[in-house]
Amino acid sequence: MRVCLRPTVATAGLPVQQPNEASVIGKTRATNGLAISPSGAWIVAIGGHKAYVCPTSKLSAGFTKFVSPQPLMCLAFHPTEDYFATGDARGIIRLWYCLDASLTKASGVQRTAQTTTMHWHSHAVSSIAFTANGAYLLSGGEESVLVIWQLHTAEKEFVPRVGAPISHVALSRNAEGEEEYILALADASFVFVRSSTLKISKSIARIRIGAWGCMFTMSLAHKFAPVDPAIAYSRPSASSSVPLAFHSQSSTIILPSSHPSSLQVCNPRTSQLVSELEVSSSNRVGRTFEEQSQPSRVEHAVVSDNGEWLATIDYREPTGPFHPEVHLKIWWWDHKSEFWILNTRIERPHALAKVSALAFRPRASEDDDLFLITVGGDGNIKSWGIRTQKVKSGLAEGMLAVLSDDT
């Protein structure tokens, strides 16, 4: 529909105004994108398997339809030339060379178009954007990788592991006048990438809501933050424990992240995300034809009273003939980097049983030994003692396991 922004005489000056003119251009399927060419000569909409094209000089003729082999997800016009690009559900980017004078003579029909395809993404392309000079095309999706396509040579460059699936790509210029790529991520954070170095220059993040429905209702989770696709695998029940801890040395809170295998470290005073701790490595993106594997889920997190130690439990559900995976991990606080460093990993601390609870024993003085107590579904209570060992690079903390009697 074309709408004139000039209000009618009767509604001019009123809080609610009616357009002076509104006319229907044509019908489409539910659209995923709509764009007007930089020259103002063309309107393109995408919906389902079709791209709908109409010259602005002949809106009454309706759309000419061009068919795509796969559902179209995103759309962008080249800034200086009369062609547009689309990204589809199979990860294919297609350049459409169909904007010519013949469309002004035979609109409203279905036609074929000359196209060029580029393929790297294994999942749907979420967003595409041309650089200002038109020499490069940017694309992003579930892989958490920004792809920079050089259009004249078909060469590719990558900005990998940006932190979360890419929802939207945009361009801006920084204070020095250099072009920057802005990535809106699925966890509601934003990443800025310098075009000259392809390095992340800064990021803007907030506390992420998503995986742990026992902390927030699902309606609130969907309202306030997009959910990482990985959490769709399996959600903990309402009775599941939630990893939540306070770190006194940094005055931060450790709580679940948008991905079940990670924890986020947040400043409660500013409500800002400080860092994210990947407790268990996981393949967050698989091939579309592969069965998605269940990621590990962080179920417990506790911090020692002196703030030097963090203990976590991550658990992966059994699949097929495989047993469940349970890991007790001990992290120590690195004062120089102000980040948690993995020190020790213990597989199956309670055999195949889940760990139902764990806690550090409070110490009356710094000279007291530090013990971690775990309770498992096997009916055992175990204590784990920490000792310090001298190494050439300085102090390294080690774990010595001491099993207690069953209770």
pLDDT digits (tens, 9 = 90+) for 189-223: 889 999 999 999 888 776 665 544 333 323 223 33
| CATH number, position 54 | 2.130.10.10
Distance, in Å, from the CA atom of 47 to the CA atom of 275, rounded to the nearest integer, reads 38
Answer yes or no: is 291 within a domain: yes
Specify whether 261 is located in the same domain as 367: yes
Yes or no: say if 37 and 82 are a contact pair by the CB < 8 Å rule.
Answer: yes
Encoding tokens for residue 29? 């399927």
| Domain of residue 256, residue span | 233-402
| Per-residue pLDDT at 263 exceeds 70 | yes
- DSSP H/E element including 191: strand 190-194
Residues 6+ apart with CB under 8 A from 338: 250
Encoding tokens for residue 276? 């994210």
Residue with tokens 């036609």: 111
Q: Is the dihedral of CA 333, 338, 343, 345 positive or negative?
A: positive
Yes or no: say if 152 and 135 are a contact pair by the CB < 8 Å rule.
Answer: yes
Q: What is the pLDDT of residue 69?
A: 94
Yes or no: say if 200 and 191 are a contact pair by the CB < 8 Å rule.
Answer: yes
Domain final position from 187, 204, 221: 204
Yes or no: say if 373 and 383 are a contact pair by the CB < 8 Å rule.
Answer: yes
User: What is the per-residue pLDDT across 228-249, written as a single tens digit (0 to 9) for each?
Assistant: 443 333 444 433 456 888 998 9
| Mean pLDDT on 4-8 | 59
Terminal Cα-to-Cα distance of the chain (whole angstroms): 73
Answer yes or no: is 287 within a domain: yes
Q: What is the pLDDT of residue 141?
A: 95
| 242 CB neighbour count, 10 Å cutoff | 15
Specify whether 45 is located in the same domain as 183: yes
Q: What is the pLDDT of residue 68?
A: 94
Yes or no: say if 316 and 279 are a contact pair by the CB < 8 Å rule.
Answer: no
| Mean pLDDT on 337-343 | 92
Yes or no: say if 322 and 296 are a contact pair by the CB < 8 Å rule.
Answer: no
Q: In one letter, which amino acid is 336?
A: K
Domain final position from 163, 184, 204: 204
Answer yes or no: is 224 within a domain: no
Average pLDDT, the chain: 79
* CA neighbours closer than 13 Å in the CB half-sphere of residue 54: 22
Q: Is the dihedral of CA 65, 67, 73, 76 positive or negative?
A: negative
| Per-residue pLDDT at 116 exceeds 60 | yes
Specify whether 172 is located in the same domain as 45: yes
Encoding tokens for residue 272? 């800002």
Answer yes or no: is 217 within a domain: no
Q: What is the pLDDT of residue 279?
A: 93
Answer yes or no: is 96 within a domain: yes
Strands (E), 231-270: 245-247, 252-256, 262-267
Q: How confident is the model at residue 256 (pLDDT cuts 50, 70, 90)?
A: confident
* CA neighbours closer than 13 Å in the CB half-sphere of residue 325: 16
Specify whether 31 is located in the same domain as 119: yes
Distance, in Å, from the CA atom of 214 to the CA atom of 221, rounded to the nearest integer, reads 11
3-class secondary-structure state, position 382: strand
| Per-residue pLDDT at 356 exceeds 50 | yes
List the single range of 15-24, 322-331, 344-353 with lowest mean pLDDT.
15-24
Strands 64-67 and 72-77: unpaired
Specify whether 49 is located in the same domain as 145: yes
Domain final position from 163, 185, 204: 204
User: What is the per-residue pLDDT across 288-332, written as a single tens digit (0 to 9) for each?
Assistant: 545 556 788 999 999 998 899 999 999 998 887 888 899 999 998
More confident residue, 110 or 357: 357
Answer yes or no: is 222 within a domain: no
Specify whether 185 is located in the same domain as 237: no
Q: How confident is the model at residue 171 (pLDDT cuts 50, 70, 90)?
A: very high
Counting the structural domains of the chain, the total is: 2
| Mean pLDDT on 375-392 | 76
Phi, psi of 265 (to 5 degrees): -110, 120
